[in-house]
Amino acid sequence: MGDLDGKVAIVTGSSSGIGEAAARSLADAGASLVVNSSSSVEAGEKIAASLPTDSIYVQADISDEEQDRALIATTLDRFGKLDILVNNAGWTTRVDHADHEALTNDILFKTFEINVYGTWWLTRAAMPALRESEGCIVNVTSIAGLRPLGSSLAYGMAKAALNSFTEDLARYCGPVRANAVAPGLVATPWTEDWDDLHGGMEMINPMKRSATPEDCAQAIMACVTNTYMNGTIMKVDGGTTLVL
């Protein structure tokens, strides 16, 4: 028997990286999973099929409000409830923080549409079901939302918004709990060619490495399973913010 037997969870952006690791950890604890991605359908279907619990894959682009509503509707049609929402899906691209001309409107708008607007729309659609189950929300943010770090200024702005959103949810939406996991640099398929940044982590980070998806999944699980944790922004950065 697992701690999450009978629970139903959605993990957005869970066809690889942090989302996949979180989905696997939740399923190993007994939760049924809705695996999601915007485009990696085959990978998402394989992950859902490989989980030890009754789980499904649903394709949805969270930057589209109608698709967010459909994702929640599909979940409720299939499982009849929703207990856990992990808002992990996100997007970024590297832009020098000092080069404001390089931060085009297209990059700025896409960063906010996926990281902020999509998270808001999906959370709003999920809230009635989460209130009914007295469930929980975990937002995957970043230390870039706490310090002037990260892949771009736009990314830091977006993640700071999500940290603020998390605290607002925690204060006003109880007994639904809301917490955030704020990683530093994570070794995922998205960052596999960021050799200079990973090398920098090896030099300055007290742990001498970047985070792994599993490091982040462990923090997500703590936010889910500790039923008194609410409004916490949990750094998973190996001490990066202590030295930068």
Range of the domain at 39: 8-235
Q: Give dist(CA 64, CA 192) in Å, integer.
A: 27
At residue 124, the pLDDT reads: 98
Convert the pLDDT of each residue in 48-86 to its tens digit.
Answer: 999 999 999 999 999 999 999 999 999 999 999 999 999
Find the mean pLDDT for residues 209-237. 97
pLDDT band at residue 244, thresholds of 50, 70 and 90?
A: confident
Structural domain includes residue 241:
no
State yes or no: pLDDT of 188 exceeds 80. Answer: yes
* Averaged confidence pLDDT in the chain: 96
**36-50, 74-88, 97-111, 183-197: the lowest-pLDDT one:** 183-197
Which pairs count as long-range contacts for 25-29, CB under 8 Å and 24+ apart, including other chains? 25/214, 25/217, 25/218, 25/220, 25/221, 26/84, 26/86, 26/220, 26/221, 26/224, 27/51, 27/52, 27/53, 27/55, 28/2, 28/52, 29/2, 29/3, 29/4, 29/221, 29/225
pLDDT band at 24 (very low <50, low <70, confident <90, very high): very high
Do the domain assignments include residue 240?
A: no
Counting the structural domains of the chain, the total is 1
User: Is position 108 within any domain?
Assistant: yes
Q: What is the pTM of this model?
A: 0.96
pLDDT score for 224: 98
Segment 89-106 mean pLDDT = 96
Per-residue CA distances from 204 to 23, 184, 243, 244 (Å): 31, 13, 7, 9
Res. 1 pLDDT band, cuts 50 70 90: low
Sign of CA dihedral 4, 5, 8, 13: positive
Active site residue 57: no
Query: Which of the following is catalytic: 57, 155, 172, 228?
Result: 155
Q: What is the pLDDT of residue 167?
A: 98
Alpha-carbon dihedral sign for residues 72, 76, 78, 81: positive
For residue 2, tell me if it sits in a domain.
no
pLDDT confidence of residue 200: 86
pLDDT-based confidence at residue 36 (cuts at 50, 70, 90): very high
CATH no. for residue 151? 3.40.50.720
- With respect to residue 80, please indicate whether it lies within any of the assigned structural domains: yes
Looking at residue 107, its pLDDT comes to: 97
What is the rounded average pLDDT of the residues 88-105?
Answer: 96
pLDDT of residue 116 exceeding 70, the answer is yes
Q: Kindly indicate the confidence band of residue 127, based on its pLDDT and cuts at 50, 70 and 90.
A: very high
Residue 208 lies in a domain: yes
Q: Which helix (H) or strand (E) holds 166?
A: helix 153-172
User: Is 163 part of a structural domain of the chain?
Assistant: yes
